Amino acid sequence: MLKKILGPFREFGPGAGLLYALDRVLSALSPNLRVYVYEFGVQPITDRPLLPERRTRNFEVREIGAGDLELASMPVPQAVIRTRFAQGARCLGAFQKGTFIGYMWFCRNFYEEDEARCTYVLGAPAESVFDFDYYLYPEYRMGLGFVALWNGANALLHREGIRHTFSRLTRFNLATRRAHAHLGCRVIGKAAFLRMGRAQLMVSTLAPYVRLTPAGSAPARLVLRPGREGSPGPEPSTQQS
């Protein structure tokens, strides 16, 4: 029992461990009580491939449109997918020898968070995007799929004049944070959200720093720019979480 209690503190550190424990307690009391803890990262988009050509011959990365069959197999409600397209989001799919193995979404200008009540606004929308829901089907997670998908996305975004992409990383998902760190992701800010039904309290390292959002009011708003905190994120590790 003691090992179970101390586990989050060892894994996430004292501060994040406490917030993780608080979220577990509150969500057990009511599904309307949650604590979300995020890091915001920025990755460079470059003209350099991430993999040599010989290692990408079996992979294809292409855009998935609103009517494509691959959307039906995504572990995302179809209503959410329709909302994403309605706000101008785009989806890239990764294919290995013709088999659909994963996808990612991105949008320009702004992104409406689907967990906390917050809008992320891009400070330099002409040369940046916000990427989200980076997903590989479980049977393909031990191969080159993650890097192959990002390699294709990097090439497409660079051709469109994009130089940075921003990500929202869940503080408690160490595997995703390590994978982004391997690709050059740099932390530019952090935020914690206490959800109480439709009301919310936000504490962030980005302006406005503290925001109480009553039910029925507009969401919090954070502007993301590439030149902030500068932390390289978690150290790459061979451990899986």
Specify the DSSP element, H or E, that contains 10: helix 2-12
Residue 144 covered by a domain: yes
DSSP-assigned letters across all residues of 226-239: SSS--B--SPP-S-
Specify the DSSP element, H or E, that contains 43: strand 33-44
The C-alpha atoms of residue 104 and residue 134 are separated, in whole angstroms, by 4
The percentage of the chain sitting over the pLDDT mark of 70, rounded to a whole number, equals 85
Residue 16 covered by a domain: no
**pLDDT (tens digit, 9 = 90+) per residue, 112-168?**
998 899 999 999 999 999 999 989 999 988 888 888 999 999 999 999 999 999 999
CATH number at residue 162: 3.40.630.30
Residue 18 covered by a domain: no
Q: Could you identify the residue written with the tokens 């995703």?
A: 176
- Residue 38 lies in domain: 32-224
**pLDDT (tens digit, 9 = 90+) per residue, 33-71?**
999 999 999 999 998 887 778 878 889 999 999 999 999
Q: What local confidence, expressed as pLDDT, does residue 12 receive?
A: 59
Decide which of 175 and 130 is more confident: 130
Residue 63 covered by a domain: yes
Total domains in the fold of the chain? 1
Residue 234 covered by a domain: no
Residue 2 covered by a domain: no
Q: What local confidence, expressed as pLDDT, does residue 76 receive?
A: 92
User: Tokens standing for 240?
Assistant: 């899986």
Quick count: other Cβ atoms within 10 Å of Cβ 9?
15
Residue 198 covered by a domain: yes
Q: Kindly report the average pLDDT of the chain as a whole number.
A: 85
Mean pLDDT lowest for which of 106-120, 177-191, 214-228?
177-191
Residue 7 covered by a domain: no
Quick count: other Cβ atoms within 10 Å of Cβ 147?
18
